[in-house]
Structure formats: structure tokens, C-alpha cells
């Protein structure tokens, strides 16, 4: 029996291991057969190819495995629901290969619309609950953005991790097409858990896969047989595997040579603002890993141009950009314009999202 559907979820932020306590409202609540489990995926943002006004993202296809790595079940691959920005959806994992077993490993396979996942939670057949936070994407060196999803009894607002199957949103960015998560590793059952932040990015906890789809047909049905991803890198560092199944860690030189900040038209035509103190526009602009729409932090009164990774003070904030050369330059919220060189340069946003 589950303990009032409350589970302690471990994550890494600012180089430290932290804890969020999930409540009943954070886990799947759909009715299920006693042999099956359920999974919830909550998203912060989606970036469809057909424009920014239809903010839908396809629910990931899911495969489930037990603690010894046996393939035990799958989600419905033919009817994968869409999730609205800021929403979630619960699905059943049909455990035909392992009725009633604990689905401690999950593999999630993204669709062709880039989606930014804020958290994943599950309810096993026996009622036990588990969870995972999108903060781990940033912690493990993957592309991220802020979310406006509240998780846990203390109202934690996680970052979200980008996933994309075809990389059409940004072919040069390292968005994983698939995640393999050992859900058990992110649960605080006792005080005997690892306090080493690097542990939670090791392959025994999580593997990021860029192109796992050669043997999978998402339009038909899940595979009859499958296996866990196996990494190939030393402990203590994040892993992103190529389509041959080998881990690849980019060198500093490769990262410096990689083009940055390319965005789809959908993301470039979108602006997000937030009042939350955790949502720093300055930090977002200063991160090589951040990816997404332009951003305004009301707590800082700063605008971040995510295309150029340059931050601007809001007009009337008494700030400037770039010292003396940037004196008087600012972002005007009312007209969505950059004020520079004595003139206004309008930003042509199709969508403006004001988070609360």
C-alpha cells in the first residue's frame, strides 16, 4: 500500500542534491487494471512545426522494465494524446509481459514536436508512487527552459528538459530523442541515498539517447521484445548516446564550435514572462544549455533575448546594457520593443505568455 500517495523525489540543483515531496495531486489518478501501472508526463512548453499558436506536444511513447531489466510493458503507441503547454496527461502502461510487476525503469520516446518535460510520475500496480523532475536535464548538461508547473507540497517549480525526435526545432542542439530513467534511483526511501550530485547523471540512473528509433515504428505498435539502453562512459558524467548505442561526450572544443541559439520560428515568435524569483532572465541568457522563447523576469526586471543570449533591463528600471556603450538601452514591455540608439525596434511576437 502507498503511504498517502506521498513520495520524496531527489533532484540536483545548483550542484546540490535536494528533495521534493510529491502529494496525491502530483501522481496519476486514472483507474487502472491491478496488473498495470500508470505514468503522468507534465510539460512546460511545446514547439510544434506548424506555428506557435497551436501549443500541442505529442505524449512520449513509453516502454517499461522491471528492476532486473526485463521488458514488461508499454503505453498505447497508436493513440498518443497531445498535451497542452502547462498541462499533463496520464496513461496506462499495459504490463502484458510482467503483470503486477514494479516498473522501475522507464524509456520515453519523443514525438516530432519538441516538448519540454517538467516532471514524470508513476503509480505502480501495487499503488507505490515514484517521480522524476525536469531539473535533472539541466543538472546533467541537457537543453532546458523554465517551467510554470508547481510540484509537491512546497510548490517547487522545476526546470524542464527538451526532447525532440527529429531535431527540426534545432538540429544543432543536443535534445535527446529518448530518455531512460531508473525511477527508483530518484526516490528517498531512507537516509541512505547518495549525496553526490554526479551520481544522478550516471548511466545507472539516466541515459539520454539522441536517435534510438531505427528499430521502432511509432505509427504501429511497441516492439515485441526490447532491452534497456546500455551506456558506455565512465561514472560521474552525463551521457548522450548516438544511434549506434555508444555514449558520446563532446569535448570543450566541439562545444565551442557548435552553433548556438538556433530556434524554430515557433519559439522565436514567442515571449514568456514570469514573476517567480527563481526564474532569472540573467541566468537564462548566461547559460549555454538554455533553449526556448525570449523571456522577461519581473522579479529582476530583465529581458532575455534567447536568440542572441543578450539580456536587457526593462525600460524604467534604471539599468543599462553593456556599460557606457549601452547606456539608455532597454526593453519596453508595453510595445514589446528594444529601445536602442534612440529608436524602438519592435519584436514581432505571435504569442505572449504571462505566467502567474
Interval 21-47: pLDDT, tens: 998 899 998 877 889 999 999 998 876
> Same domain, yes or no, for 168 and 225?
yes
Mean pLDDT value across residues 47-60: 52
pLDDT at 345: 94
Q: What is the pTM of this model?
A: 0.85
Residue 264 lies in a domain: no
> Same domain, yes or no, for 282 and 240?
no
pLDDT at 230: 76
What are 287-333's pLDDT values in tens digits?
Answer: 999 999 999 999 999 999 999 999 999 998 665 554 334 457 999 99
Residue 1 lies in a domain: no
Q: Phi first, then psi: what are they for 199, rounded to 5°?
A: -55, -40
Residue 267 host element (H or E)? helix 265-268
Mean pLDDT value across residues 5-16: 86
Q: What is the mean pLDDT of the chain?
A: 81
> Same domain, yes or no, for 213 and 298?
no
The three cell numbers locating residue 345: 525596434
Work out whether strand 240-241 and strand 206-209 pair parallel, antiparallel, or are unpaired. Answer: parallel
pLDDT at 246: 31
Q: How many domains does the chain have?
A: 2
Residue 255 lies in a domain: no
> Same domain, yes or no, for 17 and 163?
yes
Mean pLDDT value across residues 185-194: 82
> Same domain, yes or no, for 84 and 227?
yes
Residue 21 host element (H or E)? strand 16-22
Quote the domain boundaries for residue 332.
269-354
Given the C-alpha cell 539516466, which residue does it identify? 206
Residue 188 lies in a domain: yes
> Same domain, yes or no, for 112 and 173?
yes
pLDDT at 48: 54
- In this predicted structure, the answer to whether residue 247 has a pLDDT above a threshold of 60 is no
> Same domain, yes or no, for 243 and 294?
no
Residue 263 lies in a domain: no
What are 130-167's pLDDT values in tens digits?
Answer: 999 999 999 999 999 999 999 998 899 999 999 988 76
Q: Which of 214, 248, 282 is the last residue of a domain?
A: 248
pLDDT at 220: 62
Residue 326 lies in a domain: yes
Residue 257 host element (H or E)? helix 252-257
pLDDT at 124: 94
> Same domain, yes or no, for 236 and 95?
yes
pLDDT at 334: 95
Displacement of CA 350 from its chain's centroid (Å)? 23
pLDDT at 166: 73
SS3 content of the chain, % helix, strand, coil (to 5): 10, 35, 55
Q: Phi first, then psi: what are they for 263, rounded to 5°?
A: -130, 155
- In this predicted structure, the answer to whether residue 54 has a pLDDT above a threshold of 50 is no
Residue 197 lies in a domain: yes
Residue 106 lies in a domain: yes
- In this predicted structure, the answer to whether residue 18 has a pLDDT above a threshold of 70 is yes
> Same domain, yes or no, for 118 and 222?
yes
Q: In what order do the strands lie in the sheet with 294-297?
A: 310-313, 302-305, 294-297, 270-274, 351-354
How would residue 217 be classed by pLDDT, with cut points 50, 70 and 90?
A: low
Distance CA(95)–CA(5), nearest Å, equals 21
> Same domain, yes or no, for 166 and 281?
no
> Same domain, yes or no, for 231 and 284?
no
Q: Residues 90, 76: contact at Cβ < 8 Å?
A: no
Q: In 259-308, which ranges are E strands? A: 270-274, 294-297, 302-305
Higher pLDDT, 252 or 306: 306
pLDDT at 290: 94
> Same domain, yes or no, for 28 and 112?
yes
Amino acid at each position: 500500500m502507498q503511504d498517502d500517495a506521498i513520495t520524496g523525489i531527489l533532484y540536483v540543483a545548483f550542484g546540490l542534491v535536494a528533495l521534493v515531496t510529491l502529494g496525491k495531486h502530483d501522481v496519476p489518478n486514472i483507474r487502472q487494471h491491478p496488473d498495470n501501472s500508470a505514468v503522468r508526463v507534465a510539460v512546460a512548453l511545446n514547439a510544434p512545426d506548424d506555428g506557435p499558436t497551436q501549443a500541442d506536444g505529442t505524449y512520449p511513447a513509453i516502454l517499461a522494465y522491471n528492476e532486473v531489466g526485463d521488458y514488461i510493458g508499454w503505453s498505447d503507441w497508436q493513440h498518443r494524446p497531445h498535451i497542452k503547454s502547462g498541462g499533463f496527461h496520464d496513461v496506462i502502461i499495459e504490463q502484458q509481459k510482467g503483470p503486477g510487476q514494479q516498473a522501475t525503469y522507464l524509456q520515453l520516446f519523443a514525438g516530432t514536436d519538441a516538448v519540454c518535460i517538467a516532471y514524470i510520475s508513476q503509480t505502480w500496480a501495487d499503488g507505490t508512487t515514484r517521480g522524476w523532475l525536469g531539473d535533472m536535464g539541466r543538472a546533467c548538461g541537457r537543453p532546458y527552459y523554465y517551467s510554470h508547473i508547481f510540484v509537491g507540497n512546497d510548490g517547487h517549480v522545476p526546470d524542464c528538459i527538451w526532447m525532440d525526435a527529429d531535431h527540426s526545432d534545432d538540429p544543432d542542439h543536443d535534445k535527446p530523442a529518448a530518455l531512460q530513467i531508473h525511477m527508483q534511483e530518484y526516490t528517498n526511501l531512507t537516509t541512505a541515498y547518495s549525496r553526490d550530485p554526479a551520481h544522478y547523471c550516471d548511466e545507472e540512473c539516466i541515459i539520454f539517447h539522441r536517435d534510438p528509433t531505427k528499430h521502432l515504428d511509432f505509427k504501429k505498435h511497441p516492439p515485441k521484445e526490447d532491452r534497456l539502453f546500455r551506456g558506455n562512459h565512465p561514472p560521474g558524467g552525463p551521457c548522450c548516446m548516438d544511434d549506434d548505442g555508444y555514449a558520446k561526450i563532446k569535448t570543450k572544443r566541439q562545444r565551442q564550435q557548435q552553433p548556438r541559439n538556433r530556434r524554430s520560428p515557433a519559439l522565436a515568435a514567442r515571449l514568456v514572462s514570469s514573476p517567480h524569483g527563481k526564474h532569472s532572465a540573467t541566468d537564462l541568457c548566461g547559460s549555454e544549455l538554455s533553449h526556448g522563447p525570449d523571456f522577461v523576469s519581473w522579479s529582476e526586471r530583465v529581458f532575455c533575448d534567447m536568440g542572441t543570449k543578450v539580456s536587457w533591463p526593462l525600460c524604467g528600471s534604471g539599468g543599462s546594457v553593456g556599460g557606457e556603450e549601452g547606456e539608455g538601452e532597454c526593453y519596453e514591455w508595453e510595445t514589446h520593443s528594444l529601445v536602442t540608439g534612440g529608436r524602438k525596434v519592435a519584436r514581432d511576437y505571435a504569442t505572449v505568455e504571462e505566467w502567474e
